[in-house]
Amino acid sequence: MFCPKCGSILVPKKTDSKKLLACSSCGYTTKDLSIARIKEDIRQKPKKIEIIKEDELETLPQTDVECPNCKHGKAYYWTVQTRAGDEPETKFLRCIKCKHIWRDYD
């Protein structure tokens, strides 16, 4: 609700046993709180977040490359622009078997 005198927002105020709406700018108060209803909104508890382990869901593409750590022949890869925009992206690889991560700078 807004104050009819100055247009400011009316805030709830408790005096003695009455609840009123009062303007903090000009001091206007309502006769009673029946003209405006204040309702409480009880929110439900948030749903639990399900955690998926990294091993359970792998969406990265695979390539045939030898791991420098265990010599396995397959690895996941992704690219990141780590240098200036006019230079090529850096390719990161992660071995499927031992999870070793290394870079390929092509």
Give me the CATH number covering residue 96.
2.20.25.10
Q: Which domain holds residue 9?
A: 1-38
**Nearest by Cα to 69 from 47, 96, 40:** 96
For residue 65, what pLDDT is reported? 94
Outline where DSSP puts E strands in the chain: 10-15, 18-23, 62-64, 74-80, 90-95, 101-104
CATH at residue 7: 2.20.25
Q: What is the pLDDT of residues 52-66, one digit of tens each?
A: 666 555 788 999 999
Q: Whole-prediction pTM value?
A: 0.46
Question: Does residue 52 fall inside a structural domain?
Answer: no
Question: Does residue 50 fall inside a structural domain?
Answer: no
Question: Does residue 56 fall inside a structural domain?
Answer: no
What's the structural domain count of the chain?
2
Question: Does residue 8 fall inside a structural domain?
Answer: yes
Question: Does residue 80 fall inside a structural domain?
Answer: yes
Amino acid at 87: E
- CA gap 94, 103 in Å, rounded: 9
Residues with Cβ within 8 Å of residue 2, at least 6 apart in sequence: 8, 9, 10
**87 annotated active-site:** yes
Question: Does residue 47 fall inside a structural domain?
Answer: no
Question: Does residue 25 fall inside a structural domain?
Answer: yes
**86 annotated active-site:** yes
- CA gap 93, 102 in Å, rounded: 5
**pLDDT value at 27 more than 90:** no
Which entry of 16, 50, 86, 106 is annotated as an active-site residue?
86
For residue 76, what pLDDT is reported? 92
For residue 22, what pLDDT is reported? 84
**pLDDT band, residue 75 (cuts 50/70/90):** very high
For residue 57, what pLDDT is reported? 57
Question: Does residue 54 fall inside a structural domain?
Answer: no
If asked whether residues 66 and 100 sit together in one domain, one would say yes
Which entry of 58, 87, 89, 104 is annotated as an active-site residue?
87
Q: CA dihedral in degrees (44, 45, 46, 49; nearest 10)?
A: -140
